[in-house]
Amino acid sequence: MLGHELRGEPFSKREHNRRLQELLNGRSAGAIEFKHQNISAVLIEEGFPYIDGYKPRANYQDRLRTEVILRLSMDAPVVAAAETAVMAVASVTTPWRDLEDILVPPPVREPRAGRTYERAVPVPAPRLGINYLEREARNASLGEAGERFVLEIEHRRLWEAGAKHLAERIEHVAKTKGDGLGYDIASFDPDGSERLIEVKTTTFGAMTPFFATAREVAVSNDQPHQYRLYRLFKFRTEPKVFVLPGSLRQSCVLDPVQFRATLA
DNA sequence: CCGGTCCTTCAACCGCCTGT
DNA sequence: ACAGGCGGTTGAAGGACCGG
């Protein structure tokens, strides 16, 4: 199913579920769906896209993780499909009509997120070599397409709020001032106060983790009232966006993925 | 077009069973 | 014995699809 999803081919989850029910003699549809949600959680942790609609649930057993990674490392077509999907040049975005159609509330992760304990004997986890989500995050054409999309949203938003003069002053600072500022777009609230927008774009589901620079985290923390992170997701098929206001330290769980190492 | 049926998505909570 | 990891049920809501 993941292969189909990554290649943009249609498939039926229900049909797949039914076949599994036969194979697993009598396990319920719900149980099988749960397991697919567990698989999503593993995929995300491994830096791999997950199937939209199977919202990740972190209460999976170690064995599942091992099996998923093993399965994936042997499945060249799916890995190739992921590779293609994350590297693809972003095409023209689908047209949209109303802001309400694309603006959604941020998804909520299940409260007990991930493992909150340490195992007595750490399980030697196999790893996928490549983090495909990180790779997608470096896809410049996707990033730029996302930024243009948000420029449009902002323009529309201010226009609809009756602040046309402000709409004209929106600045795509990532273009005009470079990308070191910690945000991409300088926009406004209808009352004229500044709104600093960082855009993160993915073609995958809403729960896909994104990568933030130290600068972005710092700016969000220093100017929480102005800062907004716009998370664009399902960008290729059915673009939607949710907004995280304020400090990323508050709204996200931040995992360090890179360290600066100075000799001790 | 209408009503029925199937598909998709997601939330919330419980208790069995296993390792220590 | 006991903690808690792990597997699972139920059902709601909305969308897609289909035959009449």
**What are the residue ranges spanned by the domains of chain A?**
1-87, 90-264
Give the model's pLDDT for residue A114: 37
Is the CB of A28 less than 7 A from some atom of nucleic acid strand C? Answer: yes
Give the model's pLDDT for residue A121: 36
Bases along strand C below 7 A from a protein CB: 4-11
Is the CB of A62 less than 7 A from some atom of nucleic acid strand C? Answer: yes
- Spanning CA of A103 to C1' of C12, the rounded length in angstroms is 23
- Spanning CA of A20 to C1' of C10, the rounded length in angstroms is 20
* pLDDT, averaged in runs of 10, over chain A (264 residues): 80 77 70 80 82 78 75 86 86 66 74 37 56 90 92 91 93 90 95 95 87 95 95 84 90 82 84
In angstroms, the Cα distances linking A81 to A68, A77, A88 are: 16, 6, 10
Nearest residue to C4 (CA, C1')?
A117
Local structure of A77: helix, strand or coil: helix
pTM of the full structure: 0.83
Give the model's pLDDT for residue A224: 95
Helix (H) or strand (E) holding A201: strand A194-201
Local structure of A188: helix, strand or coil: strand
Q: Which nucleotide in the DNA or RNA is closest to residue A37, CA to C1'?
A: B10
Give the model's pLDDT for residue A191: 93
